[in-house]
Chains A and B, each alone.
Chain A
Amino acid sequence: MRVLARLFKAYAKHQWHLYVVTLFLIGVEVVLNVYLPQLSRAIVDTVVESTSDLSFVRSYLFSQSLLYLVWGLIRSVVVFVEIYLFEKTAETVSLKIRRDLYDHVQRLDFSFHNKARTGDLMSRVTSDVQAMRELAGFGIVQLVYCLLMILLVVGWMVYCNPSYALACLMSMPLLLVAAVRYSARSGPVFRAIQDQIASMTAKVQESVSGIRVVKAFAQEDHERAQFGKENDGILAKNLQAAKINAFYHPAMDFLASLGGVGVIWYGGRLYMSGALTAGDITAFLSYLWMLIWPVRSMGWVIGMFQRGIAGSQRVFEVLDERRRISDSRGSTPLQRITGRVHFDDVTFSYDSGEKVLDHFTLEIEPGETIGVLGMTGSGKSTVGALIPRFYDADSGTILVDGVDVRNAELKSLRSHVGIVPQDTFLFSASIRENIAYHDPNMDLERVIEAAKAAQIHDFVETLPQRYETVVGERGIGLSGGQRQRVAIARAIATDPKILILDDSTASVDAETESAIQESLREIAKGRTTIIISQKVSSVRYADRIVVLKDGRIVELGTHEELMARDGFYSRLHAAQTGSDLSSIEASGEGMVV
């Protein structure tokens, strides 16, 4: 109930006038419906009980038929406006929810997205919003319509002839029970079918994606058996649903027809005893047919409400997710910066788990190139993620040009930081749009300049549509190295004062790596550059190198200084270059898996 209230308060309130008009029209429609059998009753009675005056009958029939036509016309107009209005209201509601949901999701913190799965978020924006739309539109309208119809028609029938009404309506409560039970029983089964289909799809997806492994181990039979189970599951669940359908649908038909039998049977007897006219019977028959649809649909109106409420809950759950990283009241925009970065006694952990950075202190001069070296889990990527404030430190401060990042306006802070993330994500858009991602209005010259600096320009020139070539999922495929360089161009296109390269050369081969490194030396000029890597070769040229282990700095200095020491760095260097195979094994260090 609270969820419903929230749904209407947040998304339907300002459309209250549309709801009022729609509800008024429903009322009109119901009254029109109830009036019709009165019309046909008069016609039938005139015709059946006709006394000799044929010309009267003729003119009466003509005028009544005309009235019937006018009735039909009015009703059609009313229904037209009604459908249009409530669907429009519902569509507007879903437009708004979609917008809010998307905007909220795209601004939620990294820590939220680390846990959330894209597929799950997608299903909230699509099917859950759809369920809410149905509830806010058709669901409400149908509920009101059905209740009004049942109330008015039953009331009118009882008013006209209580005992006859009772005989005709006897099966209606049973029909209602059947309709509600049907929706209660079939709902879970249909959901189970959906789940089973999703599970089958996942199996196909897995077997196809892993086909190399399947074939390499000659495990086709194993996969076949697993798929067979999923496939059998779908069959079994569908047959279960078929049984429910096969029982309830004919049962509801039967109960509905039972009313008709009552009307004719009991009505016929009353007619014979002279207590009813032929018109009364036809009127009651029409009333009964009118009732069946509202009663039967009560079942799925309830189901629609349940789905709508469940969907609303899932949507509100996301909307209630709080953004922890946002501008505080006193935040000021960072104007020009020099690029000085200061980590002051920073401790950080993801979701208060193990400490990833442990009292980390480091002062980076403007224009300096810093290499951050460490193995998986050493906390090196976190160093890069804290500067543009993707996360907030648990304790300690990070200062950019002396300003605590938490006091800097987020947008201005991030626009000073260019980042090349570990897995290069490019959008399905042209290369130009990808490089100009930060500022869609960037002129082509600047894009080309960035591409040249990232050493991807020559390659782009070989493409048929050059900078307008679409890449990404729906465009041409680029190799890892090419993607990497586009990502570098994207990061430097706005000329950021601080550049962070997070393990950018991990997935490229040696040749590409050296090409990228070549260009980096140029790019790094005039910027504070932070190169994060697990390879000595990537950080070797840095002004200073920080070696991280378990979130702590274990070594700090230039390449030469660190090489002179017989520490982690020099041993790693030896291992990675293969110049001394035994050193690592002998040292027994680095049991990091």
Chain B
Amino acid sequence: MSFHDEEPQTRGFDPAIARRLLGYLRPCTKQLVLAIVLVLSASAISLVGPLITRMAVDDYIMVGNMRGLDLIMLAWLLVLGTNWFISYWRIYTMSWIGQRVVHSIRRDLFEHLMRLSFDYYDKVPVGKTITRFTSDVDRLNELLTSGIVNVVSESLMLIGIMVIMMRLDLRLALLCFAVLPVLGYLVTGFRSKITRSERDERTKVSEMNAYLQENISGVRVVQAFCREDENLRRFDKVSRAVYDAAMRVIYLFSFFWPCVDLTSVIGTVAVLWYGGLQVANGSLSFGTLIAFIAYVGQFFGPIRNLSQVYRVLQRAMAGGERIFRLLDTEVSIKERPDAVELPRIKGDVVFDNVYFAYEGDNYVIRGFDLDVKAGETIALVGHTGAGKTSIINLLSRMYDVNEGRILIDGHDVRDVTLSSLRKQVAIVLQEPFLFAGSIKENLRYGKPDASDSEIESVCKRLGIDDFIRRFPLGYDTEVEERGSKLSSGQRQLVSFARALLADPAILILDEATASIDTYTERLIQAALRELLKGRTSFVIAHRLSTIREADRIVVVENGTIVEQGTHDQLIKARGQYYHLYTMQYARELNVGAS
């Protein structure tokens, strides 16, 4: 959960965003028309209420027409019943439209996310992406379900009330309208003051939440360094700031409501006083007076809602802009329109004068040439930042080369469909990532139709069948997100099995054994050797002992190959590899020390 909510920037109406939003409404045109009709009828009915009262009072009660009273009351009941029916469908249809649209937007967002390439994920933190799905989408929903329709219906309501009042009695109506500017100021000017201080309160709250989040996750450090007292003092400060901000909002609010109240009291008093005089001298009917008082009471609702509309619109525009910006983020790795399925490959790989930069002309790979025969095991060796990981990212086309090309079995990786390519190239990463679900589901990830016996045989070959079976639920053990039951080494082993189950022609191990302890690594070494057979594989590792067994060792520096050959050849050559190896060896064996 992200506790840092981005506040919407103040921005007005943006026709481009509105047009795109309307695009989402197009499939619901029929429902939208229905909704508008329903909303208009509901408003009309609520306008009619006081008129019926007036008619009942003036035309029947005052003149003693009992039958007429019965009839008009029955008619009123009928109107109320109809209103119930109309309101049901109005509320339901409006929610239906809003939820449909939001549903499609979320679907499109996710669709697009799945297509986006790594350059997006490298730049945008996860929390930001999630906000698009939650609060930004909510803001659009707010506009759709209440905003748009409110503008229409509330404006009509307000105009309707004013017209009716003026037709009933022009002078009394004008007297009532005198309170409108005050009411208008309260709900717009004063209200925006409240909105501002509410925003300030939210900022303070999210600061406090961020403080809490950090100090609860780091509680072990807090205790180890005896910082409890100091931290409590600091928490008091941020917590107090929340209190102060909240009190400011409260102060304004406790002022706001009585003011609104008082304004409508003034309006009512004006009607009573002036209208009363007219009733007394016979120039106004009693029923009209009652209707007037009812209408004064109805002023407030539409004005308040209309004052909200601008804010709702603003928020929705800001949310919409962020959503559409994400939807417009270009997918940099695209399949060609004429991309073909990559047939079952043998695993010949050619890097042909490859240049690559993550950004601008900051090349991390420069003129990389490598010819790998099917079934060969290649170890990539070099310092951190030499470009080893970039090379393998290019192979499964997580990024595209800037210059040169990469061929697999003679096919340029850019000419084939992404899924047919990636399904034949499996990667095991340094940080094993497992999904929420059972071990079995995770193992099946790359090959959803793998049978249980297939899964077990792979696990047996890797020697991990034992540890999985030791869990009470065995292969059905849930892999929890964090409080995980698996150690990081065990997670890595599961990710190994996952990769092997996919039976790829090309296997990439990117620092894959870093989190497995030496014992386990030794244990699976034999199994790995077996499984690497018949596959082209690329291995990146810091530990040189892991690397020695490769068919060919490629030493990378500054994005280019400085040396290659077998372990023995390179040691004999006394070049870069020899240097690295002896340094590492010295460190590991502590040769020459003490």
When distances are taken between beta carbons in the complex, the residues of chain B under 8 Å from A105 are 216, 219
Least CB distance, B472 to chain A, in whole angstroms: 14
Q: Is B254 within 8 A of A593, CB to CB?
A: no
User: Which of A212-220, A364-372, A393-401 is the contact stretch?
Assistant: A212-220
Q: B522–A200 contact, CB under 8 A? A: no
A91 touches B489 (CB 8 A): no
The 3 closest A-B pairs by CB, nearest first: A578-B545, A72-B265, A242-B95
| Residue from the list A43, A54, A253, A572 in contact with B518, Cβ < 8 A | A572
User: When chains A and B are docked, how far (Å) is the Cα of A382 from the Cα of B548?
Assistant: 36
CB of A110 within 8 A of CB of B396, answer no
Once the chains bind, are A427 and B69 in contact (CB under 8 Å)?
A: no
Cα A207 to Cα B436 with chains together (Å): 10
Q: Is the CB of B114 within 8 A of A224?
A: yes
| Complex: A490 Cα to B221 Cα, angstroms | 10
**Do A215 and B126 touch across chains, with their CB atoms under 8 A apart?**
no
Once the chains bind, are A216 and B272 in contact (CB under 8 Å)?
A: no
Cβ of B56 within 8 Å of any chain A Cβ, yes or no, is yes
Residues of chain B within 8 A (CB-CB) of A80 are 254-255, 257-258
Residues of B within 8 A of A388 (CB): 224
Which of these, A232, A234, A428, contacts B214 with CB under 8 Å? A428
Chain B residues near A474: list those with CB within 8 A: 210
Q: Point out the residue from B69, B226, B384 that lies within 8 Å of A414, measured CB to CB.
A: B226
A95 touches which of B60, B80, B227, B239 (Cβ 8 Å): B239
A243 touches B272 (CB 8 A): no
A98 at the interface (CB under 8 A from B): yes
B304 in the interface, Cβ–Cβ < 8 Å? no
Q: Is the CB of A91 within 8 A of B243?
A: yes
Q: B542 and A510: CB pair below 8 A? A: yes
Answer whether residue B192 sits at the interface, using C-beta atoms and an 8 A cutoff: no
Which residues in A have their C-beta under 8 angstroms from that of B219?
A: 105-106, 108, 113
Closest A residue to B115 using CB positions: A220
Contact A427 B216 (CB under 8 A): no
CB distance from A457 to the nearest CB of B (A): 21
Measured between alpha carbons, how far is A91 from B192 in the docked complex, in Å? 22
* Contact in complex: B273, A239 (CB < 8 Å): no
Residue in B closest to A234 when the chains form the complex, CB atoms: B103
Within 8 A of A (CB), among B59-103: 60-61, 64, 66, 69-70, 73, 76-77, 80-81, 83-85, 87-92, 95-96, 99-100, 103
Cβ B99 vs Cβ A103 within 8 A: no
A242 smallest CB distance to B (angstroms): 3
**Could you list 10 examples of A-B contacts with CB < 8 Å?**
A54-B281, A71-B265, A80-B255, A216-B427, A250-B88, A265-B69, A271-B61, A437-B225, A576-B545, A590-B519
Partner of A65, one of B88, B254, B269, B419: B269
Q: Which residues of chain A from 260 to 298 have a CB within 8 Å of any chain B CB?
A: 260-261, 264-265, 268-269, 271-272, 278, 281-282, 285
Q: Which of A206-234 contact B (CB under 8 A)?
A: 206-220, 222-224, 227-228, 231-232, 234
Distance in angstroms from B247 CB to nearest chain A CB is 6
Interface centre among A103, A119, A217, A231 (most CB of B within 10 A): A217
Whether B217 sits at the interface, judged by CB under 8 Å, is: yes
B95-154, CB < 8 A from A: 95-96, 99-100, 103, 106-107, 110-111, 113-115, 118, 121, 126, 129-130, 133-134
Q: From B230, which residue of chain A is reached at the shortest CB distance?
A: A440
Cα–Cα, bound, A513→B262 (Å): 74
Q: Considering the chains assembled together, what is the distance between the CA atoms of A511 and B209 in angstroms? A: 38
Distance A511 CA – B212 CA, assembled complex (angstroms): 36
Could you mark each residue 37-49 of chain B with 1 if its beta carbon is under 8 Å from any beta carbon of chain A, else 0?
A: 0000000000001
Tell me which of B121, B286, B522, B523 contacts A48 (CB under 8 A): B286
User: Please, how many angstroms separate the alpha-carbon atoms of A226 and B268 in the complex?
Assistant: 58
Residues 16-43 of A contacting B (Cβ, < 8 Å):
40, 43
**Complex formed: what's the CA distance from A96 to B128 in Å?**
32
Determine if A575 and B240 form an interchain contact, defined as CB atoms under 8 angstroms apart. no
Contact of A117 among B255, B429, B482 (CB under 8 A): B482
Give the residue of B220, B232, B266, B594 whose beta carbon is less than 8 angstroms from that of A72: B266
Size bracket of the B interface:
35 or more
B80-A254 in contact (CB<8A): yes
* Residues of chain A contacted by B426 (CB below 8 angstroms): 216-217
Asked whether B467 is an interface residue with its Cβ less than 8 Å from the other chain, the reply is yes
Known contacts A83-B257, A250-B88, A251-B84; is-contact A228 B107 (Cβ 8 Å): yes
Task: Kindly state the separation between the CA atoms of A115 and B464 in the bound complex, as whole angstroms.
Answer: 27
CB 8 Å contact bits of A64-77 with B (1 = contact, 0 = none): 11001101110111
Residue pair B258, A68 in contact (C-beta under 8 Å):
no
Q: How far is the CA of A118 from the CA of B243 in the complex (A)?
A: 23
CA distance A91 to B236 in the complex (A): 14
List of B residues within 8 angstroms of A235 by Cβ? 99-100, 103
Interface residue A126 (Cβ < 8 Å from any Cβ of B) = yes
Nearest Cβ on chain A to B527's Cβ, whole angstroms: 12
CB-contacts of B228-286 with A (<8 A): 228, 230-232, 235-236, 239-240, 242-243, 246-247, 250-251, 253-255, 257-259, 261-262, 265-266, 268-269, 272-273, 276-277, 279-281, 286
Interface contacts beyond A204-B130, A207-B114: sample of 8 additional A-B pairs, CB < 8 Å, sorted by A: A99-B236, A107-B223, A197-B134, A204-B110, A209-B433, A217-B498, A257-B80, A591-B519
Inter-chain contact B212/A218, CB cutoff 8 Å = no
Residue contact B215 to A106, C-beta cutoff 8 Å: yes
Most buried by B among A197, A200, A205, A474: A205
From residue A443, how far is it (CB to closest CB) to chain B in Å?
Answer: 17
Across the interface, do B483 and A117 meet the contact criterion of CB distance under 8 Å?
Answer: yes
Q: Bound state CA distance, A593 and B468, in angstroms? A: 10
Closest Cβ–Cβ distance, residue A520 to chain B (whole Å) = 13
List, in ascending order, chain B residues with CB within 8 A of A102's CB.
212, 232, 235, 239
Name the contact of B253 in the complex, choosing from A43, A87, A227, A415 (C-beta under 8 A).
A87
Among A125, A217, A223, the residue within 8 A (CB) of B212 is A125
Chain B residues within 8 Å of A220, by CB: 114-115, 419
Known: A201-B133, A425-B220, A592-B519. A76 touches B258 (CB 8 A): yes
* A431-474 interface (Cβ within 8 A of B): 437-438, 440, 472-474
Across the interface, name the chain B residue whose C-beta is closest to A585: B522
A113 touches B220 (CB 8 A): yes
A419–B588 Cα gap in the complex (Å)? Answer: 25
Q: Does B451 touch A at the CB level, under 8 Å?
A: no
Check A88–B64 contact: CB distance below 8 A. Answer: no
Q: Are B518 and A576 in contact (CB under 8 A)?
A: yes
Cα(A47)–Cα(B69), bound, Å? 23
Q: How far is the CA of A102 from the CA of B212 in the complex (A)?
A: 8
**B215 nearest in chain A by CB position:** A106
- Give the docked Cα–Cα distance between A537 and B591 (Å): 11
Contacts of A269 in B (CB 8 A): 66, 69
Tell yes or no: A403 within 8 A of B by CB. no
- Say whether A253 contacts B84, CB under 8 Å: yes
Pick from B77, B96, B448, B589 the residue with the most CB of A within 10 Å: B589
- Flag whether B218 is at the interface (Cβ < 8 A): yes
Q: How distant is the Cα of A245 from the Cα of B544 in the complex, in angstroms?
A: 67
- Is A575 touching B213 in the complex (CB atoms < 8 A)? no
A95 near B83: Cβ-Cβ < 8 Å? no
A296 to B422 Cα, complex, angstroms = 60
Indicate whether A156 reaches chain B with its CB closer than 8 angstroms: no
A578 contact from B61, B73, B544, Cβ within 8 A: B544
Nearest chain B residue, comparing its CB with the CB of A590: B519
The smallest beta-carbon distance between B170 and chain A, in angstroms, is: 20
Q: With A and B bound together, what is the CA distance between A60 and B327 in angstroms?
A: 69
Q: Is B398 an interface residue (CB 8 A)?
A: yes
B13: interface (CB < 8 Å): no
The verdict on B386 contacting chain A, using a C-beta distance below 8 Å, is no
Whether, in the assembled complex, A170 has its beta carbon less than 8 Å from a beta carbon of chain B, the answer is no
- B446 near A214 with CB under 8 A, answer no
Given contacts A117-B483, A224-B110, A575-B522, contact A213 B69 (CB under 8 A): no
- For window 487-538 of chain B, which residues contact chain A by CB distance below 8 Å? 487, 489-490, 493, 495, 498, 502, 517-520, 522-523, 526
Q: Is A161 an interface residue (CB 8 A)?
A: no
Residue of A nearest to B103 (CB): A235
Cross-chain contact A210 with B435 (CB below 8 angstroms): yes
